Amino acid sequence: MIALIKFVFRLFGLILVAISVVALVADGSRSIARSELVFMPLGQAWFNFSPETLNLAQAAVQRHVSPFLWDPVIQTLLTLPVWAVAGPVGLLFLVTSARQRRRGPVLT
């Protein structure tokens, strides 16, 4: 069972790192085209992809968890670039699912 959870964490981490790389390349090409730094915030990307789920997440967090969690914490995360959120979270999943290497006997 632990191996399955580690596999899912590793897969999710790889997907998030891939999303991060794609978002970084897209932001870079947009920045080059406009000759200024341009970053797509996570909230805008989420809204463009699925506005209903963004509104549902906001309502669920404010009603069932805490309004304080949505307003300063999650809103701050939603203003960050996609790659700045997806990359570290993906790396965190990869680190937690890393295989531990067996050490052989120490010969002295």
pLDDT at 100: 74
* Average confidence (pLDDT) over 19-38: 96
Q: Which residues pair with 96 in a beta bridge?
A: none
**Residue range 2-11, pLDDT digits in tens:** 889 999 999 9
pLDDT at 106: 66
**Residue range 62-91, pLDDT digits in tens:** 999 999 999 899 999 999 999 999 999 999
**Do you know the residue count of the chain?**
108
Which residue carries 């949505």 as its tokens? Answer: 70
pTM for this one?
Answer: 0.81
Asked if 108 contacts 50 with a C-beta cutoff of 8 angstroms, the reply is: no
* Average confidence (pLDDT) over 19-40: 96
